[in-house]
Amino acid sequence: MVDSVKSPDELTDIFRARGLKVTPQRQLIFRVLHDELRHATAEAVHARASRDMPTMSLRTVYQTLNDLAAMGEIVQLDLGTGSSRFDTNLDAHQHLVCAECGSVRDIVVDSADIELAEATLEGFAVSSTDIVFRGRCASCAAGARSDVPSTPPLSEETATHA
Amino acid sequence: MVDSVKSPDELTDIFRARGLKVTPQRQLIFRVLHDELRHATAEAVHARASRDMPTMSLRTVYQTLNDLAAMGEIVQLDLGTGSSRFDTNLDAHQHLVCAECGSVRDIVVDSADIELAEATLEGFAVSSTDIVFRGRCASCAAGARSDVPSTPPLSEETATHA
DNA sequence: CCGCTGTTCTCAACGATTGTCAACAACGTG
DNA sequence: CACGTTGTTGACAATCGTTGAGAACAGCGG
């Protein structure tokens, strides 16, 4: 986790450099992302930001998030949890996703291991490798409810077999 | 190893074994999946199936697809392409996704390579590992014409490949 | 033939996200 | 500090993928 909090100056530069105004909304959103929510959904960012700025519009959050993503300051992720998440970690890394609570955690994988045989690729030019480890996080495992009947997950999402 | 077409008998057994009726819709959907569309979206399946059975409802397709997924006969995938895809390949494998045309191809990865340090996991119990290699397929690289907007006219799933 | 039960169909609703558009606030420059 | 350009907001509508709710239906046992 090298990228912790960015200074207000950096923050300002980031926006200014692209001709974007440094509005309090943008500052707040950016700060929320870096200070607290590392894999937040737009909703989550909005909820958090609304505490400090009650008039904050969800529309603005989406817009700013997209702007930041377009600038390469954050990365938009689709982890199959229903909504996009925005990652402030720009370093190469992968994710652990808890199927139960939906929490997301970064994990560094030696992607060099994942070498694909040229022959297998058959001309496919890989530009990025997204890995999602699904499972159950420690918290959920700890507070595992016992009354959950083993009803086959009918309308569950992304049911992967063993 | 390629699970090609399943015989009508197997097909019947699959449904019957779970107490589901072998309706023409289900048969058709199942056949479409195994015969042609290996990573189809519900829409795609519906489009194909509608050719043979014009009254086929999209709702039924979704329902049947979910049923099949619940039975473990197909796997629901979220490849970040906007909609779920349903994979008939039950063997452990990963996917190559072309960012341009959206085509999906299977690829076998020695997932044993992807060893995660216990310490790093911090109690997270990994149950599945989904890897998506994004990039550009050979076809798109070959016909890299900028005048053609990347709009797959018919099915989102182009031919398996050259 | 009747009714039961599982299926399918139609249509409406949902969640996430974006478009629009008008009124208004405010950033950044000079 | 004034001004012009941008950004924000609010109030919806619209989109896409997907699911819910019932009604209509088909097949089987009685």
What is the pLDDT averaged over residues A98-126?
80
Question: In one letter, which amino acid is B23?
Answer: T
Q: CB of A59 under 7 A from strand C?
A: yes
The burial of B75, by beta-carbon neighbours within 10 Å (0-12 exposed, 13-18 middle, 19 or more buried), is given as buried
Amino acid in position A160:
T
Summarize pLDDT for A55-93 with one digit per residue, the tens: 999 999 999 999 999 999 999 999 988 899 999 999 989
Report the C-alpha gap between B157 and B162 in whole angstroms. 13
Q: Say what the pLDDT of residue B152 is.
A: 44
- Does nucleic acid strand C have an atom less than 7 angstroms from the CB of B99? no
Q: Are strands A94-98 and A125-136 parallel, antiparallel or unpaired?
A: parallel
Nucleotide nearest to A78 (CA to C1'): C16
Dist. CA A7–CA A145, nearest whole Å: 43
CATH of A92-141, picked from 3.30.300.30, 3.30.1490.190, 1.10.3210.10, 1.10.510.10, is: 3.30.1490.190
Residue A130's SS3 state is strand
AA identity, residue A144: A
Q: What percent of chain A shows pLDDT beyond 70?
A: 78
B72 interfaces chain A, CB cutoff of 8 Å: yes
Q: Does domain B8-77 have CATH number 1.10.10.10?
A: yes
Q: From CA B98, how far away is CA B87, in angstroms rounded?
A: 16
The answer to whether B53 and B100 are in contact (CB under 8 A) is no
Residue B89 sits at the chain A interface (C-beta within 8 Å): no
Cα torsion for A81, A69, A28, A12, to the nearest 10°?
Answer: 160
A96 with B121: CB under 8 angstroms?
yes
Q: Does residue A30 lie within 7 Å of nucleic acid chain C, judged by its CB? A: no
The encoded tokens of residue A4 equal: 């912790």
CA distance A70 to B36: 37
What pLDDT, on the 0 to 100 scale, is given for residue A90? 92
Query: Which is higher by pLDDT, A44 or A116?
Result: A44
Contact, B64 CB vs strand C, < 7 Å = yes
pLDDT > 80? residue A7: no
pLDDT value of position A154 = 28
pTM of the model: 0.81
Mean pLDDT of the residues in chain A: 82
Domain ranges of chain B: 8-77
Residue with tokens 């182009």: B158
Mutation target among B18, B59, B78, B85 for the A interface, most CBs of A within 10 A: B78
Instruction: Identify the pLDDT of residue A76.
Output: 95
The arithmetic mean of pLDDT across residues A126-145, rounded, is 86
Using the Cβ of A126 and the Cβ atoms of chain B, whether some distance falls under 8 Å is answered with: yes
**What is the block-wise mean pLDDT of chain B (162 residues), using blocks of 10 residues?**
60 84 93 90 95 94 95 92 92 90 87 66 88 91 60 42 36
